[in-house]
Amino acid sequence: MNRSFTRIFLGGILIFLIIQVIQPVRNIDYGQVPSSDISKVYKVPENIQSILRTSCYDCHSNSTDYPVYGYIQPFSFFLENHIKEGKKELNFNVWGLYSKRKRSHKLDAVENQIMQRKMPLPSYLYLHQGAKLSDEKIKEIVDWVESVRTENL
In tens digits, the chain (153 residues) has pLDDT values of 688 888 888 877 777 777 777 666 666 666 677 788 898 889 999 999 999 989 999 889 888 877 777 677 777 777 888 888 998 999 999 999 999 999 999 999 999 999 999 999 888 888 788 899 999 999 999 999 999 888 875
Q: Supply the pLDDT for residue 88.
A: 92
Residue 12 lies in a domain: no
Residue 120 lies in a domain: yes
| 125 within 8 A of 54, measured Cβ to Cβ | no
Residue 105 lies in a domain: yes
Angle, helices 46-55/135-152, rounded to nearest 10 degrees: 120
Domain count along the chain: 1
In the chain, the amino acid numbered 25 is: V
Residue 99 lies in a domain: yes
Residue 92 lies in a domain: yes
Nearest to 49 by CA among 37, 66, 59: 37
Q: Supply the pLDDT for residue 29.
A: 66
Residue 18 lies in a domain: no
Residue 82 lies in a domain: yes
Counting DSSP H helices and E strands in the chain, the numbers are 8, 0
Expressed as residue numbers, the domain containing 142 is 23-152
Q: Supply the pLDDT for residue 109.
A: 93
Residue 72 lies in a domain: yes
